[in-house]
Amino acid sequence: MDLNFTTGEQSFREEVRSFLRAKLPPEISRKVLGGKRLAKDDFVRWQKLLHAQGWGAAGWPAAFGGTGWNAVQQHIFDEECADAGAPMQLPFGLKMVAPVIMAFGNPAQQQHYLPRIIDGTDWWCQGYSEPGSGSDLASLKMRAQLVTSGDGDHYVVNGQKTWTTLGQYADWIFCLVRTDPAAKKQSGISFLLIDMKSPGVTVRPIITLDGAHEVNEVWLEDVKVPVANLIGEENKGWTYAKFLLGHERTNIAGIGIAKRELARLKHIAEAEGRLDDALFAARVAQVEIDLMALEITNLRVLSAEREHKAPGPEASILKIKGTEIQQAITELMMQAAGPLAQAFRPVDAMDFDHFTARLAPRYCNLRKATIYAGSNEIQRNIIAKATLGL
């Protein structure tokens, strides 16, 4: 196996770097590299710049407005964007609901929703988890009752979703809802697209350990949703949900960001003299080895997706190792920086010690990574069943 990039791939890398130098707003890049929180406008502005370049959706087929890039090109693009300090493209629209709409939506849904996702018009959030229905997602209770009236058929939705990331900014939410309470858990679920501006939708903030308003509770009370917003068939939503979760777990790997943060870790450790400690240096080396192995697995999964194969147990491997590596890097950063990593210290991204800015808040925030999108314990069960038949 030749793991070196070809001449054409190296040329593509230079093309991406040239674009980033010319178009990535420096004030946004400084925020990302300095560990500062981004505003909604930062994400939307970057998505619109990418869309204007024709790069708004690296993983989409060209038929839907995507780049049509192969797996290696997608990987190079993600890596260069992370290294330059570009904002992460929000996955909820581009990498989660969009593949579901492409695979299971009807032509009218594809023509309406997909262009508005890729050009940054609509901000999406995810309505999966509920209180008591996280890892056991099939136990969800949000109810959608079909009503026939002179105004047209619609669902009336009632219930609560939780841990809804950036739902305070969202225009739309894709929800798993129970449409047949008499069916067994997985068989009575449907996949609905719901306008967040609908009467009866309430968003309440959840403040996380790092002091951020990142996640929310979303309450739906007698919310009317047109039947036209149903994806695929009624009561077949569990099939679509599993398809989406495979894409979500693939995206969580975050190879490019992990590489950038690993370089930041080395910078901090070198500055603090921690690399002279053989045990500490060995732990850094082990994380780097794990990241290299994860990168190859990620390329395999991306290649399979290009051949229209749904992510298999490899997606769970990416989720487990990707989140464990993210946590390991933040933990080693904290140890390397020592007292300089203290929480919530107001350090400007341009200060001489900006490499230690917000280390503790990031460490606290990433404790959740091994839990969301299906806890890592659940992922190990999935791998065992898929590969060992257990």
Catalytic sites, residue numbers: 248
Residues 6+ apart with CB under 8 A from 278: none
- For residue 266, with 0-12 CB atoms within 10 Å meaning exposed, 13-18 middle and 19 or more buried, which class applies? middle
Q: How far, in Å, CA of 206 to CA of 164, rounded?
A: 9
